[in-house]
Amino acid sequence: MKNYHFSTAILTRPSNGLYRFPSPAKLNLFLYINGRLENGYHELQTLFQFLDFGDWLEIEVRDDAQIILSPKIPHLKQEDNLIYRAAHLLQQHSGCQLGANIHLDKILPIGGGVGGGSSNAATTLVALNTLWKTQYSLEELAQLGLQLGADVPIFIQGKAAFAEGVGEKLHYCNPPEKWYLVLKPDVSISTGLIFQAPNLPRNTPKKPLSQLLTENYTNDCEKIVRDHYPEVEELISWLLQYAPARLTGTGACIFAEFDDAKSAQAVFLNKPEHCFGFVAQGVNVSPLHQMMKRLFK
């Protein structure tokens, strides 16, 4: 089986010019909705942490300006792929005349709420910024990444963060690096539907991070999702037998936290057969940034 745990990956500098970069998952450890603005956006407080698990992007620089992606994703034009859009955006913004062959080794579920697409876009920007020698700072890359999605800057900055406002106010922090069992039921969830739900809590009081970190973490979207999606309700109910469990973002992934890998693996072995899942450790520095530091000292 291929290794999607980054901490145990063998790191070597390639002799053939083909680099391999991690594209980690993330969890929303909590999510509170504080209000709704006139423009329809919601004010929130949420805590992002990375996982030592995810996709890999294999990248080889081309001497021409072509960006070639593999494998092809059914029903998705290359121009609409976030990886392609990220590479093309960096080309346009920098004037770089180089290109890249990019292969996505995909494991994270699409539409799971663990940031797969945003992480892929961020890894593309961070990696190509180094390989193409475009020399943008992380702050400049994050501004570019914001054009691709609200969560892309989190992955570019590469630090666990407490987000407020509509998600744009970031405060870096160091929550406990626990072990997580992550499961995804066979269902796709509409984020728009959840945030439009009339009975979604929208008046959770704002609290300072120091206080939130001492309380039991919850997710204001969870009840709505459980009410609308019986698959999520069934899986959370099963997981709660073993450990504190909740939704990440608007789902569909749910997760439970453990103090050690052995305990998480024991529950994973008993998981329902019909759902995707994995065990990983939470990390406060992105595995992408850890690997970039080791590869390009």
Ramachandran category for residue 255: left, alpha or beta (phi over 0 → left; psi -120 to 50 → alpha): beta
Residue with tokens 């997710």: 219
Give the DSSP H/E element, type plus range, for residue 143: helix 138-145
Separation between Cα atoms, residue 39 and residue 50, nearest integer Å: 30
Kindly provide the b/e burial profile for residues 211-220, where b requires at least 16 CB atoms within 10 angstroms of the residue's own CB: ebbeeebebb
Q: Catalytic residue, from 26, 52, 184, 220: name it.
A: 26
Q: Catalytic residue, from 55, 151, 159, 220: name it.
A: 151
For 66, other C-beta atoms within 10 Å of its C-beta total: 10
SS3 61: strand
Q: Where are the alpha helices (DSSP H) in 38-111?
A: 82-94
- 151 counts as catalytic: yes
The one-character DSSP state at 217 is P
Catalytic residues: 26, 151
